[in-house]
Structure 1
Amino acid sequence: MTQRLLVVASVLALLLVASVMPAESGVKMTQVQPELAKKLQTVLDQALETSGTMGASAAVIMPDGRIWTGVSGMSDPDTPVTADMLFDMGSTGKNLFAALVLDLAEEGLLSLDDPINKYLPPYPNVNGAITIRQLLNHTSGLYMWVEHPRSPFRKPYNEIDFEKWWTADEIFSTLGGEPYFSPGEGWRYTQAGYYLGRLIVEQVTGSTVPAEVQKRLLDPLDIHGMLLDLKEPVSANYRIAHNWVDTNGDGVPEDVSARSRNWINSLSGILYYATMEDLAKWLHGLHQGKVLSQASLDEMLDFYSPIPDEGLAGYGLGTEHVVFGDVEMWGHKGSIPGYRAGVYYLPQFKATLALAINSDSDEKGFAMFTPLLEVVFTHTATESGCTPTNAGGTVPPAIAICSVTFVVNGVEQVVRGGDTLPLSAGDEVRFKEAEIYVGTFSGNGGEACVDLAPWDQNGQEIESGRLGTHNLAVSPGLATITGPDRTQIVGENWRRIVAVLNHWPPGRTKDSDCAGGRCERDDRIVIELR
């Protein structure tokens, strides 16, 4: 992005607009098909009932850009959750903040490898040699003040001083502690890094983080409905889902929405509220390349691994790397009193899912992702034209051939099952690649290959024309298997080409003929010739 100078008047104008009137996001995305919407809503309702949580809001953006938004349950006993209600994103906001820092780096206002003492004064228990990158990927070693015995997070909820606004000096002196390790020599999740990062952003921009997030990240995506600055008066036009917390340990949650958020806003520094539609649009747009350069996205997805967190495969810059079954997910989750939220982009499916609840349970909230993901996976397979047509396999995952690409006399031709491929005797044809789809994460992967062979008018395979791919390790989503770099000459007796998808579940001996049940022929398509 080109360098933009921000004068005081424009900052004030931005803050005034952001704090007084929530604008409706301008991007109008096409809704998903009614059948899919019904499935997703049914699953959300069932998941809410099973979890026992108060209310939930969700959004899904499919690979074709169509969107679904759904809600279930109650904000308070008299008010159902609605799709325009905002939920506290918690630490999900770290994803937005890291993207902001990367945008500033693109502009040359800072470098990820700058030491923080270039921008900040000394603070107790803070090593000035820590780099900005280490703040964002939690390799700084900074103490996590949430764990301090005097932290509000360690007190009974009703004993918290909700009106208190914590200063930086108070945080690092009163709630600080010895670093866990020297910078770059380990990984430990800590809020302190993002707090210091916020101070650096304010230093280099002369502005506020909310104003910069809106201008640099959300405006390009035409997203205008997030609440980013709770220091300003919150307009009554914002509808915020009430949050529920068990305040006294009796197992009964209470509505705490009337309590001041000063304490947690000052400790966090990046406390944002969003509808799930806007949250999904944000992450989807980010990974569609509409905000940052590819080089910056690569930095964001440079995951530190392994890390001592059973739920994560790695952590990048404000981005969790989650492997769910065999499905990769990039995004972030957040836990804050009375809210749980998360948003993830699924690169194998090119889909995005956002979910939030207004209850105080990690286990119940994040478990609701699973049934929604199942619907997304299944529907993506169907939409891709990849439903298995001859699924003889019994071991998940069920995999299917989406399309086959040939090169005929130097021209690429993409065909699916039932299509006709224009070939004549003497033509040169090369099998370039096949696109396959694994439609569920409940299986254990394995390997697959695609065999192609011409058949004659009597339904007999012509062995001399047989071609096959190399084996490919399979995981959920779309994948491309490349064919051999070999050209065949179409014979007079060629009438059709049959493509067979062979799948070897883990532990099966690889045998190109699938003899003795060593593999499963999970799909096949027939391509007529003319």
Structure 2
Amino acid sequence: MVLSASMTSVAAQAETAALRDLLEDFRAQYGFPGATTAIALPDGEIVTAATGLADVEAGIPMAPDTRMLAASIGKTFVAATVLSIASEGILEEDDLLADHLGDRVWFGRLPNAATITVGNLLHHTSGLPDHVHMGAFGAELARRLASASDALTPEGAIAFVLDSEPLFAPGDGWAYTDTGFLLLGLALEEALGETYYGAVTERFLVPLGLTDTLPSNDRTISGLAVGYTVPDNPFGMPPRTMDDSGALVWDPAMEWTGGGFASTSRDLAAWGQALFTGNAMEAPYLDRLLDAVPVAPDAPGILYGTGVAINADTPRGPVYGHGGWIPGYVSSLRHYADPGVMVAFQINTDVGIVDDSTDLVPALEAALADLAVGFLRGLETR
């Protein structure tokens, strides 16, 4: 059946309305300030919607093209960059980290310094602690916020784990660590001889048309929603994480390859659909991207691949993606492999989410997955 443009337009409008209604229902139930979402379908269509406010105090509405900090979803860009240059023989997963960073004066003080590989870092099997959750790091961030200081350098952040005991020998366990991804960023730049952000822009952002995705390396980011975090948080941030001039009260450049991007739900959905369908780069890579290790012995279906989280056994089949949290913002990226749909959303608060006191994130993920499958069925009958 061949549909007219008007019939297609009516269907698209109905999808947008359904997506917006779902978001508004969730906002009414959970009370978050605002959110955006996007569903990417196999035919290339991306349905977007927004609800609530990007700035509560100013009454500015959230729009589908409003940016938020995507946090650890940025790790998928790090992993893709490693896979891309590995295809060119520049940096391999089997490489020892010491081969690329061993000449740094601090390197020998890194836990497991002599035996960590690039692959260990990508899979969080390095045995490194995570500086983000160390009390000394939180105190330093609070001090810098109070004095309006610039961000820690990557090496400054890595310094918090130096001389620590490793959590386990490389490959003998799993522990999530942003520190490991900062080390990956340093190794990438050493191997490439260019900046990480330059490599991602050249290899992915420009070719895939991700024009709404920007490095989050400045306090002022165009089109960024205000983020709202919990009072009395360990970093000493005010509940509103942006000042009246539109600048973040802290320097997000500290995140770098631990996350490092501001984006929209539409761009995230487009990125995820390209990445998980094998279309993010010319060289084959999906087998390496999805080569995974178990996160915990008692959860064999919960895995971590090359910079991506994998739930191997769900009612909708395998699910690939990543979550993102940073004070004031929460993001989700999930690709449902069997129906071939991609779902992304961003919320401009972490209240009730960072402490798992609500089921907002998993509930919204499940509801959006159901809606996406419904859109797919509608597409098949057009």
In 1, Cα distance between equivalents of 2:185 and 2:372: 36
Shift of 1:370: 1.9
The match for 1:454 is none
Which residue number in structure 2 is paired with residue 203 of structure 1?
190
Q: Distance in 2 between matches of 1:197 and 1:299?
A: 17
| 1:85-96 aligned within 5 A | 85-96=66-77
How is 1:489-500 mapped onto 2 (pairs within 5 angstroms)? none
The match for 2:30 is 51
Structure 2 letter corresponding to 1:336: I
Task: Pick from 175, 178, 190 the counterpart of residue 177 of structure 2.
Answer: 190
Which of the pair has more CA radius of gyration? Answer: 1
Written as runs of structure 1 = structure 2, the 5 A alignment for 1:404-443 is: none
Shift of 1:229: 4.7
Once the two structures are TM-superposed, the CA of residue 308 in structure 1 deviates from its matched residue by 6.4
Corresponding residue of 1:334: 324
SS in 2 for 1:119: helix
- What TM-score comes out, normalization by structure 1 length? 0.61
Aligned residue for 1:70, secondary structure, equals strand
Once the 2 structures are TM-superposed, how far is the Cα of residue 159 of structure 1 from its aligned partner? 6.9
Measured after TM superposition, the shift of residue 206 of structure 1 is 1.5
Equivalent in the alignment of 1:174? 160
Contact 1:115/1:129, CA 8 A, preserved across alignment: yes
Q: Which of 235, 241, 247 is the equivalent residue of 1:256?
A: 241
Q: Quote the offset at 1:320 in angstroms.
A: 0.5
Deviation of the 1:384 alpha carbon: 3.3
Bigger relative CO (Cα 8 Å, ≥ 6 apart): 2
For residues 146 and 164 of structure 1, do their structure 2 counterparts lie closer, same or farther at Cα, with a shift above 3 Å needed? same
Three-state SS of the structure 2 residue aligned to 1:195 is helix
- Aligned counterpart, 1:11: none
CA distance, structure 1, for counterparts of residue 300 and residue 34 of structure 2: 24
Matched residue, 1:283: 272
Deviations, residues 70-91 of structure 1 (Å, cap 9, x unaligned): 0001111210111121110010
Residue pair 2:278, 2:284 contacting (<8 A) in 1 also: no
Pick closer, same or farther for the CA change 1:161–1:331 going to 2, 3 Å: farther
Label 1:162 to 1:195 Cα distance change in 2 as closer, same or farther (>3 A): farther
Identify the range of structure 1 (159-168 vs 271-280) with the bigger mean alpha-carbon deviation.
159-168
Residue 147 of structure 1 aligns with which residue? 133
Instruction: Render the CA deviation track for 1:135-173: whole Å, top value 9, x for unaligned.
Output: 101011111112212121898799766524323443333
Residue of structure 2 equivalent to 1:128: 114
How far apart are the structure 2 equivalents of 1:167 and 1:244? Answer: 25
- CA change 1:225–1:309 in 2 (3 A) is farther
Matches within 5 A, 1:114-513: 114-120=95-101, 121=104, 122-126=107-111, 127-152=113-138, 163-176=149-162, 177-231=164-218, 234=220, 238-248=222-232, 254-258=239-243, 259-262=248-251, 264-269=252-257, 270-293=259-282, 295-307=284-296, 313-322=302-311, 323-360=313-350, 361-362=352-353, 363-385=359-381
8 Å Cα contact 2:289/2:306 also seen in 1: yes
Q: In 2, Cα distance between the equivalents of 1:341 and 1:291?
A: 21
Kept in 2, the 8 Å contact 1:71–1:81? The answer is yes
Q: Does 1:39 align with 2:28?
A: no
Q: Among 23, 34, 43, which residue is 1:64 paired with? A: 43
**SS of equivalent to 2:206:** helix
SS at match of 2:231: coil
How many pairs were matched up?
A: 350
Please give the alpha-carbon distance, in whole angstroms, between the structure 1 residues aligned to 2:23 and 2:242. Answer: 24
The change in CA–CA distance for 1:330 and 1:341 in structure 2 (over 3 A counts) is: same
> CA distance change for structure 1 residues 162 and 332 in 2, over 3 Å: closer, same or farther?
farther
Q: 1:128: Cα distance to partner? A: 2.9
The answer for the alignment partner of 1:73 in structure 2 is 52
Relative to structure 1, the CA distance from residue 174 to residue 96 in structure 2 (aligned partners, 3 Å threshold; closer, same or farther) is closer
Query: Aligned in 2, Cα 1:350/1:261: closer, same or farther, shift over 3 Å?
Result: same
**Which consecutive residues of structure 1, in runs of 5 or more, have no partner in the other structure?**
1-29, 387-530
RMSD between aligned alpha carbons?
2.8
The answer (yes or no) to whether the contact 2:241–2:249 under 8 Å persists in 1 is no
- Identity score, percent: 27
CA contact (8 A) 1:60 1:68 kept: yes
- Superposed CA offset, 1:236-293 (max 9, x none): xx210100012337xxx8321134432x532544410001111111111223332235
- Give, as a single letter, the amino acid of the residue that structure 2 aligns with 1:103: S
Partner of 1:512: none
Structure having the larger proportion of residues in strand: 1
